[in-house]
Amino acid sequence: MMGDGLEVTEGKVASAVVPLGALAGDGSMAAGTGIVNIADQVLEIARTDPGRIAMVHAHHRPVIGPRYDSYTYGELSRRAESLAEGLRSIGVAEGTLCSFMVPPCFDSLVLGVALWRVGAVTVGIEPHSHGLRRVARCLKKVGPEVFFGTPRAHAGRLAFGWGRDTVHTNVMVARTAPPGMRTLESLIGAPVTEPRPAKVSPEDPTVIAFTTGSTGEPKPTVLRHRNFASLIEKVKKQWGFTEGDEVIDMPTFPMFWIIGLSTGGTVVVPPMDFTMHGPGDADPERLIRTIRDCGVESMFASPALLENLANYAASKAMLIPNLKRIVAGGAEIQGPLFAKVKAVLEPGAEMYSDYGATEALPVAEIAGNAVIDETWPLTIQGHGVCAGTPLDGVQIRIIRSEDSVIDRIDDAVEMATGQVGEIIVRSPHISEDYYKAPESTAENKIPGGDVPWHRIGDLGS
């Protein structure tokens, strides 16, 4: 399929195909050595172009109409650097494990940048997708020390015991808080002239993100500073994001705000309820209005959201304005959905599907035109779904499927071309282990050189 493509025939994401041509001659790969500090990037723009828009938050107001709140890089940096000092005053510093339950908004952006400044570790989990009781079990595996959340998140913390055994500091992200609890605003003081850099290394964790749990209990995936540096480099290159204010990105997954900021662009927060509803519940009319009014050029979205968006636009016989690139992920993308979305995009716009997992996102990408014109006709004949070509520097192999631990890559039996086997991947941006979970790490990683191989959980050929 697609020449040297890789075809996934079974697995948690259904089918996919990924080319093998990315392997280096000797299969070697060096671990990443970089650090990307979003706080430094925001500070630099704040000093050189303080009026540049960092975020636009779209709000839906019945009858009255939408409201768009804009925030500059100058505002973002001032508040984030001041908050960073406030965080240090309550003991939040390098390596502090911080549970982060704040939906996308300006305060969450300020908090995210401040946590990056002090070198804390953000522990991310979505109660809506994981389930309220499962959140307690997940957080117990990690042991967060500080809990940042909205009033609704703190209500869940109290009701379900989230972080009960380890959290010693609670911060309410709201205008007011119950007696004895700090608010985020109370930690923001005078402007900071010279921010203190965090003492972190490329090997230090920066984010712990839980897998979806589709194949068992969610696992705490460790993303280190070097993983993030490599991820941002790859995504910016793959998606054609250049440095500057021309990037206007609307991510419909909370953590993807980092991509827009890393380019110095504008992050647009759509009028969605990120706390109680999934992306598929978003109102397509409001989304299209936001895309139009804010000049959104790129967005990352789930298949469910895109299905509703395309159906609505088609029912109104309209084209979605401004958008140049849609990247879909989170589930398998069928050919008919590509065709639906392409039909409501303006000429020259394209939709892409990214293939990967929480630990390894993305590893491959395919364009809608390639699916519609080349691969989907083969898919409906039983050849599997093509996942596209690997991102630059991503290595992929097909090995004999094993239910047991594979102690080293030399023990893995590589399959002949065209034979079905287990897909394994590696790249400097892929997570190398799970937090305090050696058994899960042994089951899902294969040692081999500086960078281990990740067993992605799908079969392919």
What does the CA dihedral 288, 294, 299, 302 come to, rounded to 10 degrees?
Answer: -40
Picking from 429, 358, 331, the residue whose alpha carbon sits closest to that of residue 124 is 358
Q: What is the distance in angstroms between the CA of the first residue and the CA of the last residue of the chain? A: 10
**What tens digit of pLDDT does each residue of 320-356 get?**
999 999 999 988 899 999 999 999 999 999 999 999 9
Q: Which pTM does this prediction carry?
A: 0.91
Would you call the peptide bond into 103 cis, given omega within 30 degrees of 0 as the criterion?
Answer: no
Picking from 298, 235, 307, 241, the residue whose alpha carbon sits closest to that of residue 270 is 298
Token pair belonging to 26: 């000797």
Specify burial of residue 38 (Cβ count, 10 A radius: 0-12, 13-18, 19+).
buried
Residue 43 CA to chain centroid, in angstroms?
Answer: 23
Give the 3-state secondary structure of 139-179. Answer: HHHHCCCEEEECHHHHHHHHHHCCCCCCCCEEEECCCCCCC
Residue 370 CA to chain centroid, in angstroms?
Answer: 25
The CA R_g of the chain, rounded to the nearest whole Å, is: 22
Low-confidence ranges of the chain (pLDDT < 70): 1-30, 32-33, 215, 245
Cβ-proximal residues to 347 (8 Å cutoff; 6+ apart), any chain? none
Letter string b/e over residues 49-72, b meaning 16 or more CB atoms within 10 A of that residue's CB: eeebbbbbbbebeeeeeeeeeebb
Q: Give me the domains of the chain, ranges plus CATH numbers.
A: 7-32+225-246+297-460 (3.40.50.12780), 38-221 (3.40.50.12780)
Question: In which residue are the tokens 């989230």 written?
Answer: 162
Cα(187)–Cα(86) distance, rounded to whole angstroms? 5
Token pair belonging to 377: 């006709």
Picking from 430, 311, 312, the residue whose alpha carbon sits closest to that of residue 364 is 430
Residue type for 366, please?
I
